[in-house]
Structure 1
Amino acid sequence: MKKLLLINFFIFSQFAIIQAQDLGWQQKVEYEMEIDLDVNIHQFDGIQKLTYYNNSPDTLTRVFYHLFFNAFQPGSMMDVRSRTIADPDFRVRDRILHLKENEIGFQKINSLKQDGKDLNYKVVGTILEVDLAKPILPGKKTIFKMEFKGQVPKQIRRSGRDNKEGIAYTMTQWFPKMAEYDYEGWHSNPYIGREFHGVWGDFDVKITIDENFTIGGSGYLQNGDKIGHGYNGIQDKLPGKNGKQTWHFIAPSVHDFAWAADPDYKHTTLETDGGVMMHFFYKESEQNKESWEKLPAIINEAVTFMNKNYGEYPYPVYSFIQGGDGGMEYPMATLITGERSLGSLVGVSVHEW
């Protein structure tokens, strides 16, 4: 009996301590990123400016980034786990182990500065550990500038190139992403293909790619009048510079930025009864044509139902995109394999709520 009382006392005392803490805060980030993707070798060069706001009551002396693409290398934690656990994800199993050099994923950091000062850092698998040049005090902000290089892995789990339905690029968890810091501390867990965590903030992203590729993703396209590809009512693929186009997206108040690209995407739009502009991107085939043609009208009904019963969708834009290896929701975008039933497509769309 005494032992039971002690256990209960410990549990409730810990709960009281947590309740007493000031949990009315969360960190904030502002990303500005530019990448140039070479579709011939599936590699991209990028620059990132990250403004980090420390809204916590703690002084931070280190930060951590996720480098998700490093999971898609033989011998990675994700690879070893998938080959040794009793019930591996059937989409992974031992596939990472057999990737060739030009099929693996990687994210390499070429330089990293804090407020203009070079930083010391090391890469441990899918985590970048960074020692700060100066601590970030509570209520203060700092600016990180990074140059990085990535290679898009062969599609295995969530992100990658050339999936089983022929979608060229599914770009999720594709950039060096600041880990979350909250009352529990840093969430710098290695990526093994499971769910992911992120800091809320604003994204400003410019993607340069072959002008024949159509992009769908998170956020609002800022230069649709110069792009076309079904944006701003312009169906033509407008020419860019030296065979490439630069797509400029902004995505406010989100915790991630996802996109996909393919030269054969069909892009259609529909404004829902609630005023949300829906964008649909799919690679038309005999297997999916009927479902994707019926999809907009039914999703309009689904959005209306969800808005009424579960709260208004908080953004004016939502993109529904064929890509990936299953169905996964991201801010303002859903990535889903396209050759499936109409009911399944609609079912995944409401995961945005």
Structure 2
Amino acid sequence: MKKLLVLSGLILGSLHALAQPGYNNNKFKQLHEELPTPNVYRTASGAPGHEYYQQQANYDIKVELNDADQTIHGEETVTYINNSPDKLDYLWMQLDQNVRSMNSVSKLITVERMEDFYSIQAIHNKLFEFDGGFKIDYIKTTSGKKMTYAVNKTMLRIDLEEPLAPGEKISFDLKWMYNINDRMKIGGRSGYEYFKDEDNYIYTIAQWFPRMCVYNDVEGWQNKQFLGRGEFSLPFGDYNVEITVPEDHVVGATGELQNASTVLSSEQRKRLKEAATSDSPVFIITQEEAEKAESKKEKGQKTWIFKAKNVRDFAFASSRKFIWDAQRVQLPSKNVMAMSFYPKEGNPLWERYSTKVVAHTIKTYSKYTIDYPYPVAISVHAKSIGMEYPMICFNGGRPEADGTYSERTKYGMLGVIIHEVGHNFFPMIINSDERQWTWMDEGLNTFVQYLTEQEWERGYPSRRGPAYMIADYMGGDKKYISPIMTNSESIWQFGNNAYGKPATALNILRETVMGRELFDYAFKQYCERWAFKHPTPADLFRTMEDASGVDLDWFWRGWFFTNDHVDIALTNVKWYQLNTNDPAVEKAFQKAQDAKKDQFIGDTRNKTSIAQTENEKDTSLNDFYNKHNIYEVDKLDKEEYEEFKSRLSQKDLDLLAANNNFYELHFENIGGLVMPLIIRATFVDGTEEIIRIPAEVWMRDNYNISKVFIFEKEVVSFRLDPFLETGDTNLNNNAWPKEVEPSRYQLFQEKKMNENPMQRQRRMD
């Protein structure tokens, strides 16, 4: 500790000249260069402009699922409405199944090494061939005239004889088929799972028909190829779909069932009606009934008819193995049906949790975004998968064969259901472009997933969301860390980049930068503005600032446009008290300080090794300086102090007498990402004080700053980021005095458990 000398007035510190970085490198530079110029379609506030438009694509589809050879055969009529101000010379459609065609580009661009083929099975997988992809029979006008078209890998262009003018619409017919993939062998977001013991299948069918691409004011046609990772960008429309399946199959699908009286028994319809008013799951098909159905195969067929309005896609699931339960979800604006379809292999987990989790997800997401607008939300159990579509999703989480399950399996299942049901909001309703910006649906969804998990169970073990969970990733090798604003196909560490980091960023905005009230209001504004529309990253960034009144350009730039990380160090602490100029106080202080000083080893040894010094033998050698007591207060000291006090006001004297403690803290931004400073000061009496300093403290110097704090009590320690809320990658430089985190050194590897805790308990019982 040092004493600050009072000269003229109170000098509390000296000005420290900090180098100001150039504007082009300043982390608080506005995002004008990075964001598109506002226009009549998208405003500077982040809202849709007065001339905003979007296209519409309506579908009438008849499809047959063949359970004998695992094929899909379909016919569709597409009605495309041009709401844009542009005339269109051609139309683009997506052929996502072509990613599994024999000549798929996705296979060719896969980077491989010989070490990848570490087993005979790995080589078999390399040699395995599957004849996937669409086989198109025809594309023609509704009057029967053939249309000219060209297939470019996963995209199809239809050339129009006459341009489609603004405000006009066109209808055309397609006929096609494809072979359904075995998900358990070659993977995929959709496909089938085969149950050998019963010779039965569960089909989870998606990306199963040629679909219109988005045409908008941002990119024109969004016809970027589907390479497997970047998902989808689709226009809204109305669907009428007739699904023909084996007679004993049960179908869950996007939309509302139109012909329940034809495909359901009277008892099933009765149970479904009961479920519509029940706050807990009601079985439409019980496990006993499902087991009976899967033990034999009916030979006939049934056609299930579904209608869905204002959706961007359509998916369905079909099997004779399905157990089916449902309940209502009461929202402020309407009631929704939450449903689950699952085989017996999913129990006891699925009957206990799935539909209740669906209901909880719909209620929680509706609170933070918009009221869920659709009539139904469905969770379908399919092993080792998690994938979303409007009103329906396919989710993993399968217990062991004996019905037990690990904690990881349980929370993995709960998490994937929340996540995939949550995708109804992002991007099925708030319809971002997944092909370009994975983070806009995955990151935002993962953020609200975290909020939903925490409202499901206190202390829920969420995998993503809290800031400290992203620290290891962000502090890793920059060669393998992409900025969030990277196209889906070019991302390193897909999960961390597209899910974890943006979800964490939003959590930090909510908890630390903006506060919950401001954040929740602005986030809900974004959801309401862009529900059933096509938002871009700029629309999110601008809305969050516009609705909150908080300038966040520094945050978007650091977290989304760079791969900087958070590593802010508390590099130095200096402790001062004011010099009172009172000689009695100051000389006593100096005496106490001098007594604390470490002694030179020679001085200590000389006390015994030198029997008697010369001036101890001959006292005549001692003069004034040998006799002078520097700690004694003399008459002149007192007179000078009285003269000093006469020049001060009582307020000045009170301040000097307060004996406050001044601490000068120095911070270094090592990781490059500027963040707020959250500091915990702990005092000698054990009490604490939390100081929160906005990130703008770094505005004039992005890398080195200092702050002075005044406390009545003496501080024994300072801690930076004490609540782990900034994602700091190195906590070892966050404390004064320096703290070393202990760790345990393991001498040997513990034997891995081959049983889950439920199995272990059964063994003890």
TM-score class normalised by the smaller sequence: 0.7 to 0.9
TM-score after normalising by structure 1: 0.84
Higher relative contact order (CA 8 A, sep 6+): 1
SS in 2 for 1:303: helix
1:312 counterpart = 2:368: no
SS in 2 for 1:216: strand
Counterparts of residues 22-171 of structure 1 (less than 5 Å): 24-84=52-112, 98-100=127-129, 103-116=130-143, 117-155=145-183, 156-162=187-193, 168-171=202-205
SS in 1 for 2:134: strand
Separation in 2, partners of 1:13, 1:350: 28
Separation in 2, partners of 1:76, 1:346: 31
Residue identity matched to 1:350: G
- 8 Å contact kept, 2:141–2:172: yes
Cα deviation, residue 302, structure 1: 3.5
Cα deviation, residue 256, structure 1: 0.3
Separation in 2, partners of 1:84, 1:271: 49
1:175 counterpart = 2:246: no
SS in 1 for 2:348: helix
| Change in 2 beyond 3 A, CA 1:94/1:205 | farther
Aligned to 1:277: 337
Aligned to 1:344: 415
Output one character per residue of 1:47-97: Cα deviation in whole Å (capped at 9) or x when no partner.
Answer: 111110000111101111111111113441222233459xx9xxxx99985
Aligned to 1:335: 394
Aligned to 2:242: 206
- 8 Å contact kept, 2:70–2:180: yes
Aligned to 1:190: 225
Output one character per residue of 1:168-210: Cα deviation in whole Å (capped at 9) or x when no partner.
Answer: 3111111011111111111112212221111100111001111
Output one character per residue of 1:280-309: Cα deviation in whole Å (capped at 9) or x when no partner.
Answer: 101112xx3122122133443333333233
| Change in 2 beyond 3 A, CA 1:198/1:12 | closer
Aligned to 1:250: 307
- 8 Å contact kept, 1:216–1:281: yes
Separation in 1, partners of 2:302, 2:95: 26
Structure with the higher helix share, 1 or 2: 2
Separation in 1, partners of 2:340, 2:38: 48
- 8 Å contact kept, 2:389–2:423: no
| Change in 2 beyond 3 A, CA 1:325/1:98 | farther
Cα deviation, residue 344, structure 1: 2.3
SS in 1 for 2:83: coil
Please list every run of 5 or more consecutive structure 1 residues that lacks an aligned counterpart in the other structure: none
- Rg comparison, structure with higher value: 2
SS in 1 for 2:262: helix
- 8 Å contact kept, 1:73–1:105: yes
SS in 2 for 1:52: strand
1:15 counterpart = 2:87: no
- 8 Å contact kept, 2:142–2:172: yes
SS in 1 for 2:189: coil
| Change in 2 beyond 3 A, CA 1:75/1:146 | closer
Cα deviation, residue 272, structure 1: 2.0
Structure with the higher strand share, 1 or 2: 1
Residue identity matched to 1:256: D
Counterparts of residues 282-293 of structure 1 (less than 5 Å): 282-285=342-345, 288-293=346-351
Please list every run of 5 or more consecutive structure 2 residues that lacks an aligned counterpart in the other structure: 1-22, 25-29, 44-48, 117-121, 272-283, 399-408, 426-765
Q: CA RMSD in A?
A: 3.3
Residue identity matched to 1:224: A
Separation in 1, partners of 2:101, 2:153: 10
Moved more, 341-350 or 324-333: 341-350
Residue identity matched to 2:188: R
Cα deviation, residue 269, structure 1: 1.2
Identity across the alignment (%): 27
The count of residues paired between Structure 1 and Structure 2 equals: 339
TM-score after normalising by structure 2: 0.41
Residue identity matched to 2:248: N
